[in-house]
């Protein structure tokens, strides 16, 4: 009985993926700016203005993602563009909002419940609903081969270099060099890859190696 249940579960997953692949080919690609070859998009929770989203080959986006591009906020018009690089895998419940530019590189892994945005709401006008105030926009970039841990928030203006590793539940703000490990709220560099000794080494929060080369 247990073996039968396992096989039925595996078959159900395989069948669900086939359906998602077909829906990606015959449905989603007509609404997105671009959907590359061999992509799989599972049922999203919400899509707004998907014509501004450009997806390269072999990208997988799992279910319940909320992906929005903002073309107008109040009286201000925006020209949003989201790009997702080849081979990137996005787990369930991504929350992604873009008013100008969000770029996710190739072969990136975004774990479940990640939020990425290039905009914040202004709040300088007191006694006024924040949703009626203007947007503060700064482009957000995630480099190739990055890994972003579960529950992480990537805030406007963030630039992650290639092959960065972000710990779960981090809040990422600012610019971080290639081959960095970061964690915390706000996120700080805790390791970088040292090509001289060919290993990850501990750093201070400015990314300077500590004396641990032995």
pLDDT value of residue 80: 98
Q: Give how many domains the chain has, as a whole number.
A: 1
Q: What is the DSSP string of the chain?
A: -HHHHHHHHHHHHHHHHHHHHHHHHHTGGGTSSEE-TT-EEPPPSEEE-GGGEEE-TT-EE-SS-EEEE-SEETTEE---EEEE-TT-EE-TT-EEEESSEEEE-TT-EE-TT-EEESEEE---STTS-GGGSPEEE--EEE-TT-EE-TT-EE-TT-EE-TT-EE-TT-EE-SEE-SSEEEEETTEEEEEEEETTTTEEEEB-TTSPBPS---
The string over 190-211, giving b where at least 16 C-beta atoms fall within 10 Å of a residue's C-beta and e elsewhere, is: bbbeeeeeeeebebeeeeeeee
Q: How many CA within 13 A on the CB side of residue 8?
A: 5
pLDDT value of residue 14: 66
Q: Give residue 12's domain range.
A: 2-202
pLDDT value of residue 29: 87
pLDDT value of residue 213: 52
Residue 213 within any structural domain of the chain: no
What does pTM read for this prediction? 0.90
Residue 209 within any structural domain of the chain: no
Residue 211 within any structural domain of the chain: no
Q: What is the CATH number of the domain that holds 96?
A: 2.160.10.10
In whole angstroms, what is the distance from residue 98 CA to residue 78 CA? 10
pLDDT tens track, the chain, 214 positions: 444 333 433 444 566 788 888 888 888 888 999 999 999 999 998 999 999 999 999 999 999 999 999 999 989 999 999 999 999 999 999 999 999 999 999 999 999 999 999 999 999 999 999 999 999 999 999 999 999 999 999 999 999 999 999 999 999 999 999 999 999 999 999 999 999 999 999 998 778 888 765 4
pLDDT value of residue 10: 45
Residue 214 within any structural domain of the chain: no
In whole angstroms, what is the distance from residue 121 CA to residue 135 CA? 5
In whole angstroms, what is the distance from residue 177 CA to residue 137 CA? 22
Residue 137 within any structural domain of the chain: yes
Residue 207 within any structural domain of the chain: no
The dihedral built from the CA positions of residue 64, 67, 72 and 76, taken in this order, carries a sign that is positive
Residue 110 within any structural domain of the chain: yes
Residue 48 within any structural domain of the chain: yes
Pick the closest to residue 141 from 172, 169, 185, 113 (CA basis).
172
């Amino acid at each position: 009985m247990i073996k039968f249940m396992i096989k039925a579960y595996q078959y159900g997953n395989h069948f669900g993926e086939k359906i998602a692949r077909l829906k990606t080919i015959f449905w989603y690609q007509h609404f997105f700016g671009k959907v590359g070859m061999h992509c799989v998009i599972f049922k999203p929770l919400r899509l707004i203005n998907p014509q501004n989203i450009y997806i390269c080959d072999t990208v997988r986006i799992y279910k319940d993602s909320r992906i929005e591009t903002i073309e107008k906020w109040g009286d201000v018009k925006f020209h949003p563009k989201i790009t997702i690089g080849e081979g990137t895998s996005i787990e369930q419940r991504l929350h992604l909002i873009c008013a100008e530019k969000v770029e996710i590189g190739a072969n990136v892994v975004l774990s479940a419940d990640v939020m990425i945005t290039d905009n914040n709401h202004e709040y300088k006008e007191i006694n006024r609903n924040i949703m009626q105030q203007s947007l503060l926009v700064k482009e957000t970039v995630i480099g190739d081969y990055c890994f972003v841990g579960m529950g992480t928030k990537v805030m406007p203006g963030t630039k992650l270099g290639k092959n960065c590793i972000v710990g779960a539940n981090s809040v990422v703000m600012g610019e971080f060099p290639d081959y960095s490990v970061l964690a915390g709220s706000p996120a700080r560099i805790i390791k970088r890859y040292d090509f001289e000794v060919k290993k990850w080494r501990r750093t201070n929060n400015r990314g300077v190696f500590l004396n641990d080369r032995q």
